[in-house]
Chain A
Amino acid sequence: METLQSLVRELVILVILAVVLELLLPEGDLRRYVRMVLGLLIIVAVLQAAVSFWNRDLAADLSWVTLGQPDRAGTREILREGERLWQVGQTRALDEYEEGLARQIRALAGLNQEVPVADVRVRLEEGRAVGEFGRLKEVILILGVQHGDAGDVPVGAFPAAEPAVDPQAVARLRGLVADFYGLTREQVSVRY
């Protein structure tokens, strides 16, 4: 741009010179000749600027275009923050899923009239591997009489004395839940 700036400066000076000469010179052919000479000077100025522009190292001159480029740390920081938000979302999704699943198992267990299921807890796989994440690890059936919102009752808060339920009925319920969700019998436990 410096070349162009100096070219414009020269052209402005030449035009002002032309005006001054026009004022000073008498009417006649001389004015036309002076105008032609000034025209030639303008051509020379333009050509000179073009040549000097041509001879420059354009690659070096264009380095300013790449000013303010991003650093990898910035991208990494964004990805890290995004990963954190993604994890927050996943945890939330897992909670929703866990709640829905517990509700579903409670409804399934409720079909069995022999064993009173007060609450159901599920444990899920939290490892991020494909096919593992969200896999059902364990189902805990909490037996007893349901007290209002069973979700608020912590495990182990029930009386230590086991209610009078048929162990075979409990085993059948465990089998039903295990078969329904593709689990082993050991993965379905019962607490009182």
Chain B
Amino acid sequence: MLRGLCVGLLVILLFGVPGLCWAQAPDAGDDLFHELDLRRVDEAVGVLRAEVDNALPDLDFKSLVASLARGELGYTPGNLAAAIWRYFFKEVLASAALLGKLVVLAVICAVLQNISGAFEKSTTSRMAYTAVYLALITIALGSFVIALNTGREAIENMVVFMHAMLPVMLTLLCAVGGFASAALIHPVIVIVMNAAANVVKNVVFPLIFFSAILGMISHLATGFSLSRLADFLRFVGLGIMGVLTTVFLGVLTIQGVASAVTEGIAFRTAKYASQAFLPIVGKMFSDAMEMIVGSSLLVKNAVGLAGLVLIFLMALFPLLKIIVLVFIYKLAAALVQPLGESRLSECLNTLGNSIVAVFGVVATCALLFFFALALMAGLGNLTVMLR
């Protein structure tokens, strides 16, 4: 069902957001764009700018909208790929110290485990092993918390950006005549968006965190495992995320399509009325109105597309940070395994999997916001198309 919804929304996005070109009505488009209050959006973009200034210089909402309206993105795929690679490499270098610490502690653990026979009582080396293991867990949990906070911050930034974009998008939706859609969809989008962000921050992330703690601690005592409980908590967390995604997309799709149809019928009536009641010139009048609505639609699509690009960038860089940590933990687990210390290797691998779950949750949230914005961008097109 979820896949079906995603495909449906993608179809709306691909066919609903037409090729952008301001050339049709340049003055009308320019005038409308300058009428918009974009201060809050600029502030939200400022946070992203501070984050990725080195990777993507000159990131500005207005110029992005203007370049999208001209049919350009402003960044070539090569530039973007180079920026992503630079950012990834920088993060890997920043996390190299963590990798070093993990490997050194693992080596100490392996040595203590292997030389336990050399002590008069093996308890001494086991005690030392436990102490080193706990130190390793502490370090690993510290970096896990960093990953979690990165994800939380990314979601908060996206929510702030969405809150800034919503009034602009809905105002533009009204400008193409979608008053009922805007009135209906504003509270719904705000409710589902806030609820999704609150549930992710207060339920899903803590569940993944607890799962990671239990997963790591279960490797501490031999024959006393809590890994199933850890798996259960992660399953519940990701299950909640799945339900949330389905509800979010379901509500948005039904709401969006229903309001667009209502609006489309209302407008068809208005258009018919202008042609029927205005003799001879009714067609000319409705053509003039269509031209103005068309130019407003282009502005709305350009703003919506710029929003989509920015949501993508807002998610991309934190996700890169998180994926670097996954990379580090998986690499550390791979390096530790040949030392013969399977428990440590498993522990690091479990932590890597938990960070993958965080990655998945943040990516899903970004996708939800992306779809919400795409739906709002496509909604005006559907309204105008139905006329």
Contact = CB atoms under 8 A, between A and B. Distances in A.
Interface of A: 1, 4-5, 8, 11-12, 15-16, 18-19, 22-24, 35, 38-39, 42, 46, 64-70, 74-75, 77-79, 81-86, 88-90, 92-94, 96-97, 100-101, 104, 130-136, 180-182
A70 B177 contact: no
A22 B276 CA distance: 91
Contact of A8 (B37, B179, B210, B221): B210
13 contacts: A11-B229, A12-B217, A15-B224, A22-B221, A65-B199, A70-B187, A70-B190, A75-B183, A78-B186, A79-B174, A85-B174, A88-B32, A182-B279
B278 A135 contact: yes
Contacts of B314: none
A24 B130 CA distance: 13
Contacts of A12: 213-214, 217
Contacts of A96: 288, 291-292
B221 A19 contact: yes
B226 interface: yes
Contacts of A86: 174-175, 177, 179
B174 A82 contact: yes
Interface string B130-144: 100000000000000
A85 to B, nearest CB: 4
Given A136-B278, A181-B279, A67 B198 contact: yes
Given A22-B221, A181-B280, A66 B195 contact: yes
Interface stretch (B79-87, B165-173, B366-374): B165-173
B182 A15 contact: no
A23 B284 contact: no
B191 to A, nearest CB: 6
B288 A97 contact: yes
Chain B interface size, as a band, is 35 or more
Contact of A69 (B191, B202, B217, B291): B191
Nearest to B205: A1
A74 B186 contact: yes
B360 interface: no
Q: Which 3 A-B pairs have the closest CB atoms?
A: A82-B174, A131-B277, A70-B190
B281 interface: yes
Contact of B35 (A24, A78, A88): A88
Interface string B288-300: 1101110010000
Contacts of B276: 131
B383 to A, nearest CB: 13
Interface in B248-292: 269-270, 273-274, 276-282, 284-285, 288-289, 291-292
Contacts of B274: 131, 133-134
A134 B275 CA distance: 10
B226 A11 contact: yes
Given A75-B187, A79-B182, 14 more contacts: A8-B213, A15-B220, A18-B221, A19-B130, A19-B224, A23-B127, A66-B194, A68-B198, A75-B183, A77-B167, A79-B174, A82-B174, A90-B292, A134-B285
A95 to B, nearest CB: 9
Interface string B304-348: 000000000000000000000000000000000000000000000
B31 interface: yes
Contacts of A100: 284, 288
Contacts of A5: 206, 210
Contact of B273 (A39, A77, A130): A130
Contacts of A35: 223-224
Contacts of A18: 221, 224
A22 B130 CA distance: 11
B381 interface: no
B56 interface: no
B294 to A, nearest CB: 10
Given A19-B130, A86-B177, A101-B281, A70 B167 contact: no
Given A15-B221, A130-B277, A90 B35 contact: no
B126 interface: yes
Nearest to B27: A92
B218 interface: yes
Contacts of A104: 281, 284
A100 B270 CA distance: 21
B130 A82 contact: no
A69 B186 CA distance: 11
A12 B224 CA distance: 12
Contact of B203 (A1, A85, A92): A1
A78 B174 contact: yes
A75 B296 CA distance: 20
A8 B280 contact: no
Contacts of A180: 280
Contacts of B31: 88, 92
A79 B187 CA distance: 12
B236 to A, nearest CB: 10
Contacts of A16: 217, 220
Contact of B202 (A64, A94, A134): A64
B213 A79 contact: no
Contacts of A132: 277
A75 B126 CA distance: 64
Contact of A23 (B130, B233, B296): B130
